[in-house]
Amino acid sequence: MTVISKVHPYNIHGFTAPGFELVKEKFIENFETKNELGASVCVYHKGEKVVDLWGGFKDKNRKLPWKDDTMIIVFSTTKGMSSLAMGLLHSRGLFDYDDKVSSYWPEFSKNGKEDITIRTLLSHQAGLCGVDRILRVKTLMDPQKMGDILSSQTPAWIPGDHQGYHAWTIAFYMDQLIRRIDTQKRGLAQFFHQDIAEPLNQPFYIGLPKDIDTDKIAKLVPFSNLDFFRESDPERKKASLDLIKPWTLKFKALLNPRFTMNLNNFNKYKFQSLPIGSACGFGNARSVATIYNEVVMGGKKIGLSEKTLLEFERAPTMPLKWEKDLVLDLPVYFSLGMGKPSKHIDFGSNSRAFGNFGAGGSGGFCDPERKVAYAYVMNKMGTQISNDPREVVLRKAVWQCLENLEVE
CB atoms within 10 A of CB 218: 28
Contact present, 268 and 220 (Cβ < 8 Å): no
Check whether 309 has a pLDDT greater than 90: yes
pLDDT at position 5 = 47
Neighbours of 144 (CB within 10 A): 8
Q: How far apart are CA 340 and CA 330, in angstroms?
A: 13
Q: What percent of the chain has pLDDT over 90?
A: 86
- What is the structure's pLDDT at 242? 61
Average pLDDT over residues 125-152: 97
**Which helix H or strand E contains 355, and what residues bound it?**
strand 354-357
pLDDT of residue 406: 82
Distance CA 310, CA 104 (A): 23
Query: Buried (b) or exposed (e) across 159-182, using 16+ Cβ within 10 A?
Result: bbebbbbbbbbbbbbbbbbbbbbb
> Can you give the pTM of this predicted structure?
0.95
Mean of pLDDT values over 316-329: 91
Over the chain, what is the mean pLDDT? 93
How confident is residue 239, by pLDDT bands cut at 50, 70 and 90?
low
- Write down the H helix ranges in 200-242: 225-229, 234-242
- The DSSP secondary-structure symbol of 5 reads P
**Cβ neighbours of residue 344 closer than 8 Å, sequence gap 6 or more:** 330, 331, 332, 386, 387
CATH number of 2-407: 3.40.710.10
Q: Is the pLDDT of residue 185 over 90?
A: yes
Q: Where are the domains of the chain?
A: 2-407
Name residue 39's beta-bridge partners.
55, 378
Per-residue pLDDT tens over the stretch 259-274? 999 999 999 999 999 9
Of the listed ranges 220-224, 225-229, 365-369, 385-389, the one predicted with least confidence: 225-229
Where does the pLDDT of residue 384 fall: very low under 50, low under 70, confident under 90, or very high at 90 and above? confident
pLDDT band at 227 (very low <50, low <70, confident <90, very high): low
Residue 251: pLDDT band (50, 70, 90) is confident
Q: Is the pLDDT of residue 193 over 90?
A: yes
